[in-house]
Amino acid sequence: MVMNFMKRFEPNPSGFRDSLYADPQAHVGRFVFDERVAEVFADMISRSVPGYATIIGMIGLLAEQHATPGSRLYDLGCSLGAATVSMGKAIGERECRLVAVDNARPMLDKAARQFAAHLQTRVETHCADIREIDIHDASVVVLNFTLQFLPVEERLILLKKIRAGMQEDAVLILSEKIAGADAREDRLLVELHHAFKRANGYSDLEISQKRSALEEVLVPELIATHTRRLQEAGFSRVNLWFQCFNFVSFIARP
């Protein structure tokens, strides 16, 4: 079911190509999820994050395995709702509540249109800070490239809150951009990522300006840091299941 969904789901339903950083900018402002970004985000993320479609598909597979009747499935920082759609399609008619949360109204509005187009079940949407959402009766929680945008000192607080609201057989899927273990490894991972972006049509100017925009907004950490934090938050089993260059995904269980 999940693999069929991956074939059917259009990675860039709007058809708009990301060219936000194609022209030289005198001052590159901080990256924000505004209307302009929402319009091109599907293209942006598919051309910028290696393995993104695989991660989305596997989120559906994990939801199919762990979603229990009557439970809630949370997509925290849902952006355009790809993970929510993947979970919804995977669980079929199972009686679960899908909850999609994002603090950017332009992103959530486009996500709602995705839900209407791809899912038969209703999705509970919240335009809110994920740190302020109540988590309860959760069988699946997804943080898909979301935690990296929170201040470092607030990440453990959120993970503890998520763990407290999860069922004992639940699963947390945490996907993140990471830093290399040392300066040499980090440089290699960054170079490989930039090569990936060039192969997908981004110019060196676009890569440089986008990196500047994200510099103070997205703070990557080591794999070991994520693992320790998840364990400190109360997750007894933490597995790194995916890595491509400096993009990873963990499965964490109580």
User: Binding site: which residues?
Assistant: 52, 77-79, 102-103, 129-130, 144, 211
Cα-flanking dihedrals φ and ψ of residue 120, to 5°? -85, -30
Q: What is the C-alpha to C-alpha distance for residues 48 and 138, in angstroms, rounded to an integer?
A: 30
End-to-end Cα, the chain, rounded Å: 27
Rounded to 5°, angle at Cα 227 from 218 and 147: 25
| DSSP structural state of residue 17 | -
Among 149, 181, 169, smallest CA distance to 31 is for: 149
Q: Are 135 and 162 in contact (CB under 8 A)?
A: yes
**Helix (H/G/I), strand (E/B), else coil: 28:** coil
Q: Are 216 and 30 in contact (CB under 8 A)?
A: yes
Using CA atoms, how far residue 189 sits from 32, 34, 177, 202, in Å, is: 24, 28, 10, 17
Helices (H) and strands (E) in the chain, counts: 9, 7
The annotation places the binding site for S-adenosyl-L-methionine at 52, 77-79, 102-103, 129-130, 144, 211
Q: Are 173 and 239 in contact (CB under 8 A)?
A: no
Q: What is the DSSP string of 54-87?
A: HHHHHHHHHHHHH--TT-EEEEET-TTSHHHHHH
